[in-house]
A and B are shown apart, each in its own frame.
Chain A
Amino acid sequence: MNNSFLRVSIWVYLVIFFLYLLGPLVIMSVTAFNSSAFPRMTPWECLTFQWFGELFQDQRILNGIKNSLIIGAGTVVLSVAMGLAGALMLTQIWPKLRATYYTIIIAPILIPGVVLGISTLVFWDRINRMLGLGADSVLSNGIFLTVIGQSTFIASYCMLVLVARLQRYDVALTEAALDLGATHAQAFRKILLPFMRPAIASAAVLAFLASFENYNTTTFTFGEYPTLTIELAQKVRYGITPAISALAFIIVALTVFFALLNEAKLKRQELVAAARKKATVEELAGKIKLPSFFAGNMAAVLLVVFAVATITVVGTATAYNPGQCIANVKEQKRLEAEQRIQELRKQREEQRKKREAEEAQQGGAQQSAPKPSNNSGFGNVFAPNTLGGDTEEESSEPETPPSNNGGFGGAFDPNSLQTDQ
């Protein structure tokens, strides 16, 4: 009993955990399809694809993507090269230096990105000044600085990935190649590199993604070349629109797609390997019977479902026109607003009556009191209801009675000043 209770609670915990992890992404993706001008899921207004159109017309976003790709490519080349050199050095460095060396090349992972960005900026600015170059030299160029700054720590990630595979490399292979007359460069290119290729590929993907999403370092170094992340941050900080959700949806969809693709491929390789192990010699010699792509491969099934869903969505997007629905929602909002105005007016009317009655009473009591129609210099600017956000609604209503319930009350009514004196 105790055991089953534990099992249930761990599943409940898993569900809550993954809700926390994935829920925000799902909600953000959903808001990309709501026609509300502020990204929100409730109240749901209309299914729309307009935010995607808006996204693709945004020059700053497109320019940011271009810069991100250039910087990403530079960072991948530099950090994989440095990571590989660093990993090779780690396997053959003088033992006394090893611990120090390892600490130095692992440190950039732990140094806050802000610090890396600042130190890169300060250092290259100084080099630039020492060489007597102007402010427009290569060394103060945003792309150069960003690539350098990001590579500082991304190379450490690459080094960790590469060294894991390098540790399984048999140095005898290189020695054999050298004995057979290969030069060092040939042995490196033909023996070591092919062995390292899977790790190099993962390091390159990791480096590109890390570069693409980096914010802390880039924000100090980008200069005149804002990356996509920088542009996004600017947009998110100064007013958010569902166009950002649309971009997020695209990124989430691409990520899920490639994750599933990779998983399906891995699983397939495993299944093929398992089938080979079981197969008899004749089967191997003849035709290798490949297991069907889907058999026991959940990721592949999900992948196909996902692709079909994408095609359906894109298909609907081209055929679907939310114009009618948006018009309906607008109409509804207008009606609501009108209703609210009516209510406000009624409230005002009642208040006015009440006040008049009160003032009449007071007037009866104190003869010296001013005339009841007079509402001081500020009109009812300070009346709590005036600030209730009705100013813009009322300004759009031409037939608002010119009495005293505009935003400024009777302040600009010349009569009120006169009567005041």
Chain B
Amino acid sequence: MPRFLKDFFNRNGFGMGLAILGLVLFWTVGLIILPQLSMLDFSFRPNLPPPEIGGPKDVYTLENYKYLIYGPEGGSQAYNAVDLRVFFRTLLAAVCVTIFNLILCYPIAYYLGQSKGSHIRIFAIMLIIPYWINEILRAFALRIIFGETGVLNTLFVGLGIWDTPFDFIRNDIALYAGLGYAYILLMIFPMYNVIESLDGNQIEAARDLGAPWWRIHWRVVIPYAKPGISSGCTMVFMLSAGALAAPQILGGPSSLWFTQLIYQQFNDNNDWPQGAAYAIVLLVTCILFVLAMMRLFKVNMGDIGK
């Protein structure tokens, strides 16, 4: 038995040690690592009916990945333009949602982090309450507002700002508003945690030395809050790229989200390996993108999740 295992059992007792080790192994290996590897393996296999699985036809193939790039074999187009466009649009939109949320939430996080008083607690409750409401219901609420006969259209048509109802849903405005809305808290909290620990004297010192307010933020607050900003952005980006409910409810009929394609492969086409391949592509691309961004902005991996 290796030494650290012996130490571990000495410290926790044999029964307790076994329980802890068992649970941790079940979680890390049984729930996290093996299912991901299993999905990876599955994505390289052809779509076969259950009796043929494990048979002679069950060989590794790149077919599912080729499909995303080139489309069905013998198709009229050189590339799978539809799926690829959905894929890049999803990533681009997720980036836009992240930037929008960052701009929206930074002033709030700064204000909450730097001011004192009992009203801050009420603000915190008001922030958390929407987060406890079901994701589907939040999307539903936005649909009531952005619908053709919704509150906004009634208001603007009533005021005479425009005369025919504006289709927010078809123009994807409802979708972006919904995605931004869903992850506000995940952007604010990491930033708030860091900014709260910033010593107010630093800001005072900068002010005394004559810095205008924007330079205080640029040179003092933002560099200090960088770990919080990066973990907020990472979470919002990953979650909005992987969102399913908001696009299903708020997306227009012609605009798909990449997760919706995955969902269709699983539930409508019944092509699990294809869906698994798409899921792998989404996961890997998102991780690579986040890592690239972290390198670009010189953020350490260890800072994330603080």
Query: Could you list which residues of chain A lie within 8 angstroms of chain B, going by C-beta atoms?
Result: 6, 10, 13-14, 17-18, 20-25, 27-28, 31, 38-42, 81-82, 85-86, 88-89, 92, 94, 99, 101, 103-116, 118-120, 122-124, 126, 129, 148, 151-152, 155, 160, 183-185, 188, 209, 212-213, 215-216, 219-220, 228-229, 232-233, 236-237, 240, 244-245, 247-248, 251-252, 255-256, 259-260, 263, 298-299
Contact = CB atoms under 8 A, between A and B. Distances in A.
B4 to A, nearest CB: 4
Given A25-B129, A89-B20, A185-B13, 12 more contacts: A13-B107, A17-B104, A18-B126, A24-B138, A24-B142, A85-B23, A104-B28, A108-B32, A118-B266, A160-B305, A184-B12, A215-B135
B140 A248 contact: yes
Nearest to B158: A42
Most chain B beta carbons < 10 A, residue from A18, A85, A113:
A85
Interface in B37-69: 38-39, 42, 50, 53
Contacts of A244: 137, 140
B297 to A, nearest CB: 17
A122 B276 contact: yes
A298 B118 contact: yes
Nearest to A124: B35
Contacts of B286: 112
B144 A27 contact: yes
Contacts of B275: 118
A212 B137 CA distance: 12
A178 to B, nearest CB: 9
Nearest to B13: A184
B244 interface: yes
B162 interface: no
A19 to B, nearest CB: 11
14 contacts: A10-B107, A17-B108, A24-B181, A25-B133, A27-B151, A28-B141, A82-B26, A85-B24, A85-B27, A112-B279, A122-B276, A228-B134, A232-B136, A259-B129
Contact of B32 (A105, A232, A252): A105
Contacts of B272: 122
Given A13-B107, A92-B11, A236-B143, A123 B35 contact: yes
Interface string B266-297: 10000010011001001100100010000000
Contact of B135 (A39, A109, A124, A213): A213
Contacts of A129: 50, 53
Interface stretch (B70-78, B79-87, B218-226, B231-239): B231-239
Q: Which 9 A-B pairs have the closest CB atoms?
A: A112-B242, A184-B13, A85-B23, A119-B35, A123-B35, A24-B141, A28-B141, A119-B39, A123-B38
Given A28-B144, A114-B262, A118-B276, A219 B244 contact: yes
B259 A112 contact: yes
A220 B266 contact: yes
B245 interface: yes
B211 interface: no
Most chain A beta carbons < 10 A, residue from B11, B21, B50, B213:
B11
B265 to A, nearest CB: 10
B206 interface: no
Interface string B119-131: 0011101111110
A77 to B, nearest CB: 12
Given A10-B111, A85-B19, A119-B35, A24 B145 contact: yes
Contact of A22 (B126, B147, B238): B126
B36 A119 contact: yes
A236 B31 contact: no
Contacts of B145: 23-24, 27
A82 B132 contact: no
Contact of A110 (B19, B141, B238, B279): B238
A114 B125 contact: no
B242 A233 contact: no
Contacts of B127: 21
A346 to B, nearest CB: 24
B255 interface: no
B18 to A, nearest CB: 11
Contacts of A13: 107-108
B194 interface: no
B88 interface: no
Nearest to B147: A40
Would you call the interface of chain B mostly helix, strand, loop, or mixed?
A: helix
Contacts of A28: 137, 140-141, 144
Given A118-B39, A251-B137, A259-B125, A22 B130 contact: yes
Given A28-B144, A42-B154, A118-B266, A236 B139 contact: yes
Contacts of B35: 116, 119-120, 122-124, 152
Contact of A21 (B8, B181, B279, B302): B181
B237 to A, nearest CB: 9
A23 B245 CA distance: 20
A21 B130 contact: yes
A63 B42 CA distance: 34
A112 B141 contact: no
A126 B38 contact: yes
A260 B121 CA distance: 11
B173 to A, nearest CB: 13
B92 interface: no
Contact of B244 (A21, A22, A113, A124): A113
B263 A219 contact: yes
Contacts of A23: 145
Contacts of B39: 115, 118-119, 122-123
A27 B143 contact: no
Contact of A233 (B123, B126, B136, B301): B136
B236 to A, nearest CB: 11
Contact of B134 (A18, A92, A251): A251
Contact of A112 (B20, B104, B154, B238): B238
A255 B129 contact: yes
Contacts of A247: 137
B191 interface: no
